[in-house]
Amino acid sequence: MNRIELTLGGNRIEDYTVVVKKPTEATVYAASELVKYLLKATGKALPVVYGEEERGAKRLIVLAHGQAFKDGFRLRFEGERLCLTGNNERSAIYAVYEFLERIGWRFFAQKASYVGVDHGPHTWECEKLLSEGKVDIPSDFSVEQEAVFDYRDGASFALNDEAFCVKLRINAQTWGSRDLARAQYGGARTFAGKGCEGHTFGKLVPIGKYGKTNPEFFAELDGVRKTEGVDWDNAPQLCMTNYASVPVALATMKEWMAQTPRAEYISVSQNDNRSFCQCASCRASYARYGYFGTLIRYVNEVAVGFAKAYPNVKIHTYAYAGTDDINDSVKAHKNVMVQWCPTRACRNHALNDRDCALNRATYGKLQTLSKVANEIFVYDYRHCLRYAMLNLTDLFTLRETMRTYAELHVKGIYSEVNIHALNQCTFEELRAYLFAKLVWDPYMSEAEYDRHINEFLEGYYGKGWRRIREYLDRWNSIDPKMHYTSFYGAMISDEGKYIRDEQGNARFAEFMPKEEVAPFCAWANGKFDEAAREADYGQKLRIEIARTNVVWYELFHRMEEVMRGDDEAAKAETTKRCRDLCSRMRRFMMKYTVYIGMTNTTYMYDDFSLPVSQWRYANDIAGGDPL
């Protein structure tokens, strides 16, 4: 562990006193973090005073905050005082971490990667002091930053720890997977209600309560109004042209606001299915406004009623499966925020890449959306739902994509990575770190982005980190022309259509020609071996976790052919490798597919000769897909 000799404008750090101007749970926490990390770095423990400034003491580090909506902060000297000032309580904590980063601290990874399991060997806290020797913060030092995106959240096992999320300036509490909203962390951006961040039609107008009395509130399918269904994902959609259900929705929304009065968003959005109403009135509306416009007209009705009582709460809705026919036929009410869920983005290319048909379409939809809605969020799927162990190739396109989101006036990003996974072999710690840096500042230079990657790799994988970087460089530039959907890893043509085999089945995860798979994987394994030679025990484990994606990839593409052949030695060797993959999955608590992985599926552990490509992955939705 490095130690530094720290001076502020030439003055020794031990001569300073920390002052918390307006003590709140958050600013007291900020001060304790400042003192803790200064002690670790310098060996000096600073006194802290609350409220009144210490009389007589000149050398102060003053923590202060305002009450603004937007996160941001200022760090600067006023005479011999160093003032760390947050726009709000949350960003007063960010100001402290920014200062700590300026003296050399880096917060790479959290302590525990999963809720309820604290003995896992897989991810440990990884925080490093990169500086050494004498460090001075000069008296003309001045930093001012403001968040580009107001809502910054990522669902990832690598972002489960609240204290770590605050270090990375993740500021929102989506789907209740952790408790970031507590006062200690300066609160978080939240949705009204409990678990009501989306798919809320069924909760706003429960079919259990109204199905029998008001069947006209609900979707007509095959000529019959639905009157039954659970009040959640599987409920039929609301009849979106019947505004008689709006008062019912409004009454539920008022209850939610009473339960969670600090909420800044409330969701009025479709259930997670495609059971949209086919009554004559809805069909006429779809013809004129599309599904999207029909939804916006309904949500606008709700917004008119809701905005009177809650003018500062944004009404969230989705443009998602079925309602993603985004068009400009209807302008959204000024308080309506639309969250676009692009399930067909290509991660091999940046969002603004004009040569990628999938991303051209996504870009166009966002552009249209930015004309009809005052506020846009993105529900960003940054993992392969079908193959959880598939390492996406977005390392060098992510910065450009995030910048493009910002340029298209996106105000919030919820990035979803391998939900329900305890651990993954797809560099999620690195990806979470980079996402957090970009969602704060998507306009960073390529050189800065590169620096973040390298600092992380060295901190996390140890002295042999350059070998890991070589692997990432090559994997992320395998074939600059290929396209695939991030959701299912389905291969896409230049025209934006599924690439199919002779039987008409969609092809998946074919990132390189078959004959290149074995040499590539041998090369990659060599790089992991070299990196492991210079690693300590913990770093070695991290390297083995990362290597698992190569083990999976090779078996996925080669095992079936070997097992169909008659080379018994090759079959035995491949079966052994499959056993190694399975033991890695158990040891490192990995899932091989997001959806199937939600249930207890261990059949592959009973027969290691079952080809990896024949495992049960997430449902094949590609067949009937309109692409």
Judged by CB under 5 A, the stretch of 121-129, 232-240, 426-434, 543-551 that binds Zn ion is 232-240
Axis-axis angle for helices 246-259, 280-309 (nearest 10):
40
Tokens representing 111? 């302590």
Task: Pick the closer one to Zn ion by CB: 155 or 358.
Answer: 358
Nearest to 29 by CA among 189, 178, 187: 187
Kindly identify the residues of this chain, within the stretch 433-462, that bind Zn ion according to CB under 5 A: none
Binding test (CB under 5 A) with Zn ion, winner from 106, 349, 403, 591: 349
Report H helices in 53-133.
89-102
| CB 349 to Zn ion: min, Å | 4
Residues 6+ apart with CB under 8 A from 568: none
Long-range contacts of 69-72 (CB under 8 A, 24+ apart): 69/150, 70/146, 70/147, 70/150, 71/146, 71/147, 71/150, 71/169, 71/171, 72/144, 72/145, 72/146, 72/147
Task: Pick the closer one to Zn ion by CB: 279 or 610.
Answer: 279
Judged by CB under 5 A, the stretch of 353-361, 387-395, 433-441, 533-541 that binds Zn ion is 353-361
Task: Pick the closer one to Zn ion by CB: 62 or 499.
Answer: 499
Tokens representing 614? 């024949």
Task: Pick the closer one to Zn ion by CB: 263 or 356.
Answer: 356
Cβ(406)–Cβ(443) below 8 Å: yes
Binding test (CB under 5 A) with Zn ion, winner from 282, 372, 432, 563: 282
| CB 361 to Zn ion: min, Å | 11
Map residues 249-278 to x or -, x wherever contact with Zn ion holds by CB under 5 A: ----------------------------x-
- For tokens 């025209």, the residue is 495
Task: Pick the closer one to Zn ion by CB: 123 or 323.
Answer: 323
Distance CA 517, CA 511 (A): 9
Judged by CB under 5 A, the stretch of 46-54, 56-64, 235-243, 401-409 that binds Zn ion is 235-243
Task: Pick the closer one to Zn ion by CB: 5 or 216.
Answer: 216
Task: Pick the closer one to Zn ion by CB: 239 or 313.
Answer: 239
Task: Pick the closer one to Zn ion by CB: 157 or 498.
Answer: 498
| CB 275 to Zn ion: min, Å | 11
Cβ(260)–Cβ(194) below 8 Å: yes
Cα-based distances in Å from 191 to 162, 265, 375, 482, 588: 17, 5, 15, 38, 33
Binding test (CB under 5 A) with Zn ion, winner from 226, 382, 383, 483: 483
Q: According to the 3-state scheme, what is the secondary structure of 269-299?
A: CCCCCCCCCCCHHHHHHHHHHHHHHHHHHHH
The residue type at 286: Y
Binding test (CB under 5 A) with Zn ion, winner from 84, 279, 384, 417: 279
| CB 504 to Zn ion: min, Å | 22
Binding test (CB under 5 A) with Zn ion, winner from 18, 38, 48, 346: 346
The torsion angle over the Cα atoms of residues 55, 57, 59 and 63, rounded to 10 degrees, is -30
Map residues 301-340 to x or -, x wherever contact with Zn ion holds by CB under 5 A: ----------------------------------------
Determine, following the binding rule CB under 5 A, whether residue 239 of this chain makes contact with Zn ion.
yes
Judged by CB under 5 A, the stretch of 26-34, 231-239, 246-254, 510-518 that binds Zn ion is 231-239
Tokens representing 579? 């056993």
Kindly identify the residues of this chain, within the stretch 359-388, that bind Zn ion according to CB under 5 A: none
Residue 84 CB burial class (10 angstroms; 0-12, 13-18, ≥19)? buried
Map residues 119-158 to x or -, x wherever contact with Zn ion holds by CB under 5 A: ----------------------------------------
| CB 240 to Zn ion: min, Å | 6
Beta strand 410-416 pairing with 151-155? parallel
Rounded to the nearest 5°, which phi and psi values hold at 114? -145, 150
**Adjacent-strand bridge partners of 224:** 221
Task: Pick the closer one to Zn ion by CB: 298 or 456.
Answer: 298
Task: Pick the closer one to Zn ion by CB: 468 or 482.
Answer: 482
Task: Pick the closer one to Zn ion by CB: 277 or 417.
Answer: 277
Binding test (CB under 5 A) with Zn ion, winner from 63, 109, 205, 356: 356
| CB 336 to Zn ion: min, Å | 20
Q: What is the DSSP letter of 184?
A: G
Distance CA 138, CA 10 (A): 7
Task: Give residues in contact with Zn ion (CB under 5 A).
Answer: 239, 277, 279, 282, 346, 348-349, 356, 483
